[in-house]
Amino acid sequence: MSACTEAPAEFLTPLSDKKVTEFETAVFECEVSKPNVKPRWFKGPQEIKDMERFECTSVGTKHMLTVRQCEVQDADTYKIVVEEGVESAAKLTVEGTRTICFMQHSAVAIFVLLYKHL
């Protein structure tokens, strides 16, 4: 007598790396071979729960993680786990706008200091 075992889920479309500018929205999407799995999302080692800026949605075999108003500290590796050992990961890169402002202010400050010493 043989026991039937269900094939494990697999990724039809894995996660892909995302690059956004600070304050934009990043959306990670994937599709798996089995409907109605209960995915778990992670940012680095920390599990993500639905929060103000993070939203996890699933419809059939498609799963999405939306990160709204991205901040520089949101840059990390994000992972979805749909079953034991069945996971996909991708990196989020967030380009900050604050660096440009800081550089502009620094250039003005340097100019002012040079001008005072002339």
**pLDDT tens per residue, the chain (118 residues)?**
456 677 889 999 999 999 999 999 999 999 999 998 999 999 999 999 878 899 999 999 999 999 999 999 999 999 999 988 899 999 999 998 755 545 555 555 444 444 344 4
- Domains of the chain plus CATH, in order, are 11-116 (2.60.40.10)
pLDDT of residue 4: 67
pLDDT of residue 30: 98
**How far is Cα 28 from Cα 7, in angstroms, rounded to an integer?**
25
Q: Nearest-CA neighbor of 81 among 98, 63, 105? A: 63
pLDDT of residue 110: 46
pLDDT of residue 49: 83
> Is the separation of the CB atoms in 25 and 66 below 8 Å?
yes
